[in-house]
Amino acid sequence: MMEDLFYREEIEKSKEKLTLDRVSTGIPKLDDLLQGGYPKNGIILVSGPPGSGKTILCFHFIDKGIKQGEKCLYIAVDQNVKSLLIHACSVGFDFLPAMEKGLLKMIEVDIEKSSTYNRIANEVIGREYQRVVFDSLSPFIDTPFVIDRDVDFDKVPIIDKLSAYPADSRSVLRFHLRRLFDLLRKSQSTSLVTSELLEGKNTLSRDGISEFLADGVILLSVDPLMDRRKLTIWKMRGTKHTLKPQDMIITGRGIDIK
């Protein structure tokens, strides 16, 4: 009963506010296609095959945040921060000054370590980041990461039940992904998470689960025969958008949508 009332209040509030607040993507044409940007506080999945521009799309998002004086966090999974910074420079983004000013923090995480979930939680919760990037989710498929057993989280007992399943089972994977998404939601930031798509798989993420947990899905694709790249807004909560794949190019100044 109490819950019904709570929902009613939330729904009434959403009726008052007919449009969602938006967070600029950092790419003006993409903002136009999204009624101003990603839904504020949303979690957006960016998927595509290797080299399709997922990381660069995240760079634009971070760069825009920095320019607006927002606090940003980049979580690099199984990637080296130094090489990411060099990669960013090669497409026109110099993030060092923002890091020195404390506007951008970039951290490398190793999901094979059991302390990693805690590290991410400590980093994300209560630090008031306006923008968070989690790049990428793909290593989860091979190594669903372990949670410290002595941590005081409400859902921890479930992990004991899950330990009866093989570590790479879908239930374990879904559990870990949900935990991560819950964490990002609690952080109150707007988040981008990336996922590598493998050819021939009929899902929108490598895990086949994240696309349902996310508020939006941006799909990047490459057509080597035509020497062409496309960006498709597959879903975006509360947003009227085209489903038509948009031509995009990558240059020394990042992504440009035609």
Ligand X SMILES: Nc1ncnc2c1ncn2[C@@H]1O[C@H](COP(=O)(O)OP(=O)(O)OP(=O)(O)O)[C@@H](O)[C@H]1O
CA distances for 253 relative to 56, 88, 221, 256, angstroms: 10, 10, 19, 8
The CA distance from 225 to 116, in Å, is: 41
Q: What contacts 247, CB < 8 A, 6 or more positions away?
A: 228, 229, 230, 257, 258
Handedness of CA 182, 184, 187, 189 (dihedral sign): negative
- 196 is a contact residue toward ligand X (CB under 6 A): yes
Q: How far is the CB of 86 from Mg ion (least distance, A)?
A: 13
Q: Please identify, using beta-carbon distances, which residue of 51 and 126 lies nearer to ligand X.
A: 51
Distance CA 47, CA 193 (A): 8
Contacted by 97, from ligand X, Mg ion, none: CB < 5 to 8 Å by type? none
Residue 25 in contact with ligand X, rule: CB under 6 A: no
User: How many angstroms separate the most distant Cα atoms in the chain?
Assistant: 58
Identify the burial level of 178 via C-beta atoms within 10 angstroms of its C-beta, where 0-12 means exposed, 13-18 middle and 19 or more buried: middle
> Least distance from C-beta 229 to ligand X, angstroms?
8
Q: Which of 24, 47, 52, 55 binds Mg ion (CB under 5 A)?
A: 55
Residue 251 interface partner, choices ligand X, Mg ion, none, CB cut-off 5-8 Å depending on type: ligand X
**Which lies closer to ligand X via its Cβ, residue 19 or residue 83?**
83
User: Does residue number 51 form part of the binding site for ligand X (CB under 6 A)?
Assistant: yes
Question: Minimal distance in Å, beta carbon 253 to ligand X?
Answer: 8
Query: What minimum distance in Å lies between the beta carbon of 196 and ligand X?
Result: 5
Q: Which stretch binds Mg ion (CB under 5 A): 35-43, 46-54, 83-91, 162-170?
A: 46-54
Q: With contact defined as beta carbons under 8 Å apart, do 210 and 43 qualify? A: no
| Contact residues for ligand X, defined by CB under 6 A | 48, 50-56, 90-91, 196, 250-252
| Contact residues for Mg ion, defined by CB under 5 A | 54-55
